[in-house]
Amino acid sequence: MIAEGIRTTRREMTGFPFEQMTLIGKAVAAIGSPAFPAALRQLCLDVYGFDSLFVSVFSADQPPLQLYSDLDPEATRRTIGPYLSFAYLLDPFYSLYLADPGDRVVSLDDCAPDDFRESEYYRMFYAETGLYDEIVMLVASAEGTAIALSLGQRTEDCRPGPQARAHLDGLLPVVSELCRKHWPQPVSGSAASEPAADMVFATLSQLKVSTREGEIIRLMLKGHSTKSIARILGNSPETVKVHRKRIYSKLKISSQGELFSLLLGGAGG
């Protein structure tokens, strides 16, 4: 009874169960060592159940750089490789980071466009990851970069509820400080490699599409519906449809899948 009273008091004082305080202590002790990512994983797993953890650095002018993954080599080759080389450009979490790199916890439903699950990005890349759902902890880092912790769920059954989400929100300040202490400096990709975004924009330029048509192409591939694109660009849905028809005619294609493949080839995919 005394031990239980102490445990209850500690929970009230800290906002975290005693077991989680122990895991936080282990993560703090592991800062600066190779054991840190696994300790961080265990802490997050105790609060919010997930099937996989992928940690990367987001940068506005370079592809994301992998910091940690608990995926097996085959899953890494099949999913992480394409993501880091091109697919990140259409990632709703990456788009959110570009808009505001501040600390936050955000789910796929929070940031995905209205037609995301019907988009070519979802069909050709996201569905291949095997993820049913995903929640990301974004941690603002130095010089405008951000550390992104992607917690993936592979079945609807394991999707945590609102209480677990609230606990994860509460854990964000702790995770943010842990990550900033362990990864204090922004890490960028090789300066010798041309960013995929530059390659895609170069491809659009070579295809002779206008600036507005390029904006529509990017929004289409991210999973925005005609109405959503019209709202973002301040046009009518009918105007967007005319632009889309003109794009398809100019590029001699008839589907979003062909458009995705065309740009994927331009990015070296």
Instruction: Report pLDDT for 13.
Output: 39
Q: Which CATH number fits domain 2-182: 3.60.70.12, 2.70.150.10, 3.30.450.80, 3.40.50.2000?
A: 3.30.450.80
Domain extent listing, the chain: 2-182, 196-266
In angstroms, what CA-CA distances link 213 with 200, 235, 244, 263? Answer: 14, 12, 8, 14
Task: Give the start-end residues of each E strand in 47-132.
Answer: 52-58, 65-69, 104-107
CA-closest candidate to residue 63, choices 188, 223, 162: 188
Residue 78 per-residue DSSP state: I
Distance CA 91, CA 122 (A): 9
| CA distances for 255 relative to 92, 109, 111, 119, 120, angstroms | 22, 26, 25, 11, 10
Summarize pLDDT for 114-133 with one digit per residue, the tens: 888 888 788 888 888 888 88
d(CA 88, CA 197): 9
pLDDT band of 209, cuts 50, 70, 90: confident
Query: What mean pLDDT is predicted for residues 166-182?
Result: 95
Partnered with residue 138 across adjacent β-strands are 104, 148
Other beta carbons less than 10 A from residue 27's beta carbon: 25
The CATH code of the domain at 196-266 is 1.10.10.10
Instruction: List pLDDT tens digits, range 40-73.
Output: 999 999 999 898 999 999 998 788 999 999 988 8
